[in-house]
Structure 1
Amino acid sequence: MVGLTNQTKNNIIKLTIKIIDEFGYTNISLRKMAKELNLTTGAFYKHFSTKEQLFSEVTVKLSKDIAADAIKNLNKSDIPEKQILQLAYSFLNQYQEHPNIMEFLFFNPTSKSTIADSTTGFEYLDLINHLIAKLIIKRNLDKDKNTLFIQLWSFIQGYGNLIRNNSVQLDKNLIKTTLNDFLRE
């Protein structure tokens, strides 16, 4: 099929990510994107039948990239608490450096349903859950894994939104103190 190449599809995804990062996801115009990529609107729709399909694939790409970035800086020989802190720092740094990307990932309806889908998942969340389970065993905590996850994830998301909105600056000591507070019996 003419015009249906992986390179074109990748170029559409890259441009979408660039636009989201610079201007936010609500400012995406498929017609403008097609024009910038020298594609007809019809050729664009051969790769993505809807904007939701494009957003879903962009969500998968971004979630994999963010997880890979966080994991590459993770010292796997560290204790679970330190690994969780490293992941939190990395994730919150994304809120600081790429606020529009983080808003897209967690607040647009297509991304929310894509991340919730067990077939696409979000490796970052899986890793946090795994580390929380190790932490509970290591410290012999009388806490439910899901409760600790919700506490930790709610804090990270809330703090990330404050950072994204320029209400606060990233404070690593606050993150460490909060994690320690959550771990108290």
Structure 2
Amino acid sequence: MTTEEKIINQTIHLIDTNGYQNLSLRKLTKELGLTTGAFYRHFKDKNELFQKAVIQLSKRFIEQIPLNVDYSSKQQLLIIAKYICQSITMHPNQMDFLFYQLSALDLYSNANQYPFLQKVKALITNLNSSTTLSDQDLFIQIWSFIQGYALLIKNKITRYDAQLVEYTLDQLLKGKD
């Protein structure tokens, strides 16, 4: 494992444990036995580290979701929604980092750099046969629902309800599968 990979992995670990808001480069480098100079040989700043950590975490996230290519796009989206809702309670700091902090938001505009979003957008494009909504508009609607619902679960306002998620997805898709 390269030094850069070690830094990224430790960053993800510290974020999971303490939240990205509490990550200090001093603590990170100390735990890895590196100097801050060594850190800056691999990353120009904390933002670059966060962007690379988001990409790595996004890859891990999509690899961990039990998707089967034989499933329809709708079934895969339902599995992703369930996984997000489960993960936000088990790893709230990682999920906040992956979906809500600024470095992640910067990557939203380029799904090619964000493997998880790339997969979600591809599934939504496969489902969108509507002439009234663009793929981007449908993505925004579905993604907003999934993220909002996950936040409600995280904040213990509700529990995951597979039927509600499927019904809402059907409404957003207007019955298309």
Pairwise same-fold verdict (TM > 0.5): yes
Matched, 1:43 2:38: yes
Which piece of structure 1 moves more, 20-29 or 100-109?
100-109
Please report the TM-score for the alignment, with normalisation by the length of structure 2: 0.87
Corresponding position of 2:150 = 160
Specify the alignment match of 1:177 in structure 2.
167
Question: 1:79-98 alignment to 2 at 5 Å?
Answer: 79-98=72-91
Once the two structures are superposed, the pairs formed by residues 106-185 of structure 1 within 5 Å of their partners are 106-117=99-110, 119-120=112-113, 122-137=114-129, 141-144=130-133, 145-184=135-174
Unaligned runs of 5+ in 1: 1-5
Greater CA deviation, 144-153 or 17-26?
Answer: 144-153
Q: Return the offset for 1:143.
A: 4.2
CA distance in 2 between counterparts of 1:118 and 1:151 reads: 17
1:101 aligned to 2:94? yes
Shift of 1:181: 2.0
Please tell me whether the aligned partners of residues 63 and 123 of structure 1 are also in contact (alpha carbons under 8 angstroms).
yes
**Which residue, 69, 73, 77 being the options, matches 2:70?**
77
Percent of aligned positions that are identical: 39
How many residue pairs were aligned?
A: 174
In 1, the alpha carbon distance for the partners of 2:110 and 2:150 equals 23
Answer yes or no: is the 8 Å Cα contact 1:59–1:115 preserved in 2.
no
SS in 2 for 1:9: helix
Residues 1:80 and 1:143: Cα distance change in structure 2 (over 3 Å): farther
**1:42-95 deviation per Cα after TM superposition (whole angstroms, max 9, x unaligned):** 22222222111111110110111112222xx11221222212211221222221
d(CA) in 1 for partners of 2:40, 2:29:
9
Supply the distance in 2 between the matched residues of 1:163 and 1:10 (Cα, whole angstroms). 32
In structure 2, how many angstroms separate the alpha carbons of the residues matched to 1:125 and 1:118?
6
Whole-angstrom distance in 1 between the partners of 2:32 and 2:123: 42
Q: Is the 1:96–1:170 Cα contact (8 Å) retained in structure 2?
A: no
Cα RMSD after superposing both structures: 2.0
SS in 2 for 1:46: helix
User: Equivalents in 2 of 1:117, 1:147: separation in Å?
Assistant: 16
Question: Shift of residue 146 of structure 1?
Answer: 2.9
Cα distance 1:175–1:49, how it changes in 2: closer, same or farther (>3 A)? same
Q: Give the TM-score normalised by the residue count of structure 1.
A: 0.83
